[in-house]
Chains A and B, each alone.
Chain A
Amino acid sequence: MKRWLTRWRLALHWPSIRGRGRTDAGPLLLTAAVIAAVALLAGAAPPLLRAAADNAVQDTVRRAGTDSNVLVHANWERDDGPTGGRVRMPRLAEDLDDFRAQATDALGPDLDAALLPPIAAVHGPILNLTDGSVPRTFQFTYLAGDAGGPDVAWLAGSPPGPTVSDEYVETPYDGPPWPVQVGLSEVDATALDLGPGDRIPVKDGRGRDRDVRISGIYRPADSTAPAWRLAPALLRPVPGADGAGTTRFAGLLSRESLPDARLAVDEDELRRTVQFAPEPEALTWDATAALASQVVKLKAASGSSIDRDQSLKWQSQLDTVLRDASTRNSAASAQAAVLLAGVLTATVLVLLLAADLLVRRRTPVLSAARQRGAALPDLGAELIIESTVVSVSAAAVGLALARAAAPGVSWTWAVPVVLAGAVAGPAFGTLAAARASRDRRQPANQAARRWIRATGELRRAAVEAAVLIAAVAAFVTLRQRGLLPLDSDGDTNELTGDLILPISALALGALVGALVLLRLLPLGARFALRQALRSRRPLAVFGAAQAATTAGRTLPLLVLVSTTALASFALILGATVTRGLADGAWSTVGADARLDVGADAEAATPALAERIAAAPGVEQVVVAQVTDSARVFSESTLLTPRLVVVDTAAFQRLLATTALPDAPALTRLTAPRPGTGDVPALVRSSDGALRTGMPLQLPRESGPAIRLAAVGTAPSVGGTDDVVIVDAAALADAGLPVAANTVWVTGPGAARAVSNTGVAADVVLRADVLRAQRVAPLTAGLVRLAWTAAAVLLALGLLGLTLAAAAGASQRWQTLTRLRTLGLRPRDARWVAAGELLPPVVVTAVCGPLLGALLARLTLGPLDLRLLTGQAADPAAVLPWWLLGLVSVALLAAAATVVPVESALRRRDRLSEVLRAGD
């Protein structure tokens, strides 16, 4: 057994440890600064992202509106009377209260805590108002929360009361319509021109009259109260709720009139529901998986809606909304992890370079210590003590700063950096000390020299092959499985082990690129040397020789190329997300500004559009009728796409002159179609339900449905994927006049032109949408991280360049001094020095950004950026050439500065001292 193995106690020489620390305080402090800075970034980024993810979940649920509500309904108890009629049930409101309490109990504690108090609602069937030429519908509704219904002030008449004083009444099935009293909002009452005591002229779907009477006119105490969201028609008429061109009105029931409402319609036509709106502030990313799972369980446990029993039947999109939010969070988390992995890889390489510099400075001291008899374990232990103190204390400072700057701190990502800082120096130093006690003579035997070279080559090839294999595996995994968690229930903010490989793909790709360049650079340098040897200029020869001599140095090129490529990738990522948000805003708004005209002002839309078109700075104005969830039949299937009825030519011009994608298929909407009477339509569908070539039918109130023929693919309108576009003139010819409710406006004056139109309309500005998307928690966080990572990586690259120059300085000036002993003039020496420093920098400046662009092309797809930008498809990589050029210029400028500065510093050194140091 070797002697050192038998020793159980290390003989540490503390004065040496302190002395080395004092002598090399500069490099040690630099190492500490790098570790502290990266620990700060790596420690703060995950908690900041987690906070952004929580905000994003809350934001998503808020934006989802009623889609994220949890809804439960159950059939009523049958109301068959003893004499073959229907019995009036006076305690119907109390039954509803019991139903609400039962539903609340079924939620479970976690879900209950994440939801607002429930609101029970009873909805009557959609009835048709029979007094107008335009299709209008009516529905009576009862709302009751834990504290009763929403507060209203009765402006005229009184709250709805019971129709009969005798509560227990039985009425025959075929009797006259049972009267029911409702209240009308003042807006609805004005629109219908009805008042207290009037009967609302309505018929049911089978054309039978229904007896609905107005007891009073009310004004909501707080129109923003959550209960009203369940039935917005109780506040004002709602256009398009029951199909294109329709307007829905609603009447408010009371506890007293609810029993009459049941008798006023057929037995199974009054639906009772309880709705739970989520409380966004109570939601966190951590809780999303459990909550979504609970919602799914409730839905799975629901009885069938066709069963006549009174079991609870749950409906909700909350699980989907939460999963979508969680998926976006997972994507953002993975994207951030990819960036962090890149930063950490670059940091580890820079720390290796710093350790290399430190050990080069210390080699004489370590060699002397070794030659004086110091054991390698003792030297290694001394170096480890020093590096551990530096690394751990620097990381502690960085993490403490992270704790102060962020809502928490994550130490996981700092571990590789601390390890690299603690281990690299001692490893290199121990090897240097070991070499000092080895026979350094070049073997006289040529075969022995060849064997040494072959062994070195084999080692290097093995390492390169390992990196290459890991990179290929990482890219294959990334492209095949992506970065999202496979297990939907495991969709949390913690990165799972199976994600480590794909997350490392970018960093490994950068390393492979650097290794390829490391193989090519010596070949290029040797080629340049061969060319220089043919020239008569000695400087060219010595410069090229110096370049060829040092071209194989591994760490400097690895650091330069990796940091530059990764910084370029971060810039490309940031630019792609930024552009994606802009495209997403175009897609959402459809122009620079959009006016969503209220139902009561639709008639004024054409005149309004003409006024806007005449405003200064307005370039284009396009009018359309946009109906969300329009009812379109495909054979016997009801589809609810967004129906866009528009002047095709104007719409095409709008697309052609804006950042919106062109849609050449629009010309097919106005192309003559001999033979068929079908109206041509373009269709777009996320799930394939709408396909080119399929026949469609657009139902209307009066007359047969209009037949549509899907003749091509529609562009996305308003960011929606399920779209049907029809030419306005063609639809009018087919008998359905257009009621324009949307105005798209482009031009620098668009925003001013659509403001203060004097028409009841919602104004949506592209600039506002873009601003909102930019400050959205996840996108803002990721973009900020991308820019920060780019800056940190560029700084690491420049630091790497400086360290590489410093690490090679001693050897370089030895060579230059020897050349000066051959007669090289001092002023020529700097050109030879440039021969060493410039080639890797030039190669990096050219190839680093290109490698970054290649990595972006390979990885941006699987990164699922569309989940953040809101685009329909994965965005193509946007190359910010001026920023990439800036990275290259920064590197070249740094190299151009290093050479003269180093020359100026070295000029003071006597040649004899340089040569003596080398010997």
Chain B
Amino acid sequence: MLDGILLGLDTAFSAQAIVFLVGGCLAGTLIGMLPGLGPMTAIALMIPIASTLEPATGIIMMAAVYYGAIFGGSTSSILINAPGVASTVASSFDGYPLSQQGHAGKALAIAAGASFCGGIIGAILLMLGAPVLAQASLLFQSSDYFALMVLGLVSVAAFAGNGGLIKALLMTTIGLMLSTVGTSQAQGVERFTLGSIDLIDGISFLLLVMATFALAEALLAVLRTPASGLQIVEQSKRKSLGSMRITKQEVRDISPTVARSSVLGFIIGLLPGAGATVASFLAYASEQRMAPRKQSPAFGEGAPRGLAAPEAANNAAATGSFVPLLTLGIPGSGTTAILLGALIAYGIQPGPMLFINEPAVFWAVIVSMWLGNVVLLVLNLPLIPYIARILMVPGRLLLPLIMFFSIIGVYLVSFNTFDIQLMVLFAVAAVGLRLLNFPMAPMILGFILGGLMEENLGRALLIYDNNWSFLWTRPLTFGILLLAAVALFVPLLRTLVNRKKGSDQ
């Protein structure tokens, strides 16, 4: 292993590689920061440049762009509630309230720190056990993925916000329903496409999230503030925007969260059928459950732990997703699929033999993960006070920019004008729902997990000839479902016990 690390260091420390590593991190961060533009667009934009480089350097650069874009993506989530990628949606739940309260700098610093730790912990785990972990990730069958998605959905109560559980459940149902639009996988029939060819492929996640978060947020900002003083953050709360001060107590609070979320994120990231989004939601939900009841601020109202958990988890998961990609050639997400395409274009075939056939490439990627995370932290920490001041840009300039970039971001993926119309429709509906205190997060959760849940359940039922017995005869499935039941009922029991205690006193 030491030889490998030295070989990787040797490759990654050439002057050229360092230039492209730093350049990739910068470019990725900048692209990722724009609402609507995520790692997928960032990598696709960089492929023409990367293809002129040597394989190891090119891959280091693209990996840097990937980490940079995930890193930058949380910035737009936190500052303007416009997650550019699915995996940073959960970061907006507490990150956005924090920056609304005038703590944008602090929120960005927490995100940077948690991402850094998640990335580094992920890279260490990857280095220690990639081949073994790849084997382990293959133990997961469709029925187990189904159970995992159930576990994720059970956590919906964590995302209720201030609208109450009933509204959260209603929104989850809407998300589940939206996920059924398009061609069903198991039967190959069109569902709810209204005869339109534009709906045959279903509704894209990016579209839904940009419409209900970014666009709706910008519209709401216009509705809420009088035209004269159009502001994103109130004047009185602007003083502390740039400050990154985190108290010792907060660091002490966050550290265990980061450690747990990193390991959880990495494990979920290993599974080709799950990925960074599921990881960030699960980490958020499990931390919310573990949090002391009377903690202030509560989850959803700007809790530092609520921001640190998804940030650490999504970065660790992004690292974890390199395991099936490099050792099996199986991409777990759209972004890793583009990375795989780029690797193949270099003539490098990922697979169990990559480690032996192309050690320089394999170790260069791992070393670039460490360097990339360090470079990102060093690049971004000094910039945070300036980035946070984006919120001081007058609303009349910032809001049109947010709308412009969210629409462009969606268009650049599909190149279909119908998507823009659909987006506006969803945004208007979302504004109405949000004015009535319906939370958007449960809908996103239902949409992402619902699609995956249905797909995996359908597959498991096909395999088991429509016999539901796999739910209890397959130990892994049963175990995860048991965990979901515990997650569902323990908070209920706790509430009951607390009530009893209250009445005893």
User: Are A and B co-members of a single complex?
Assistant: no
Q: Which residue numbers of A lie inside 8 Å of B, CB to CB?
A: none
Q: Which residue numbers of B lie inside 8 Å of A, CB to CB?
A: none
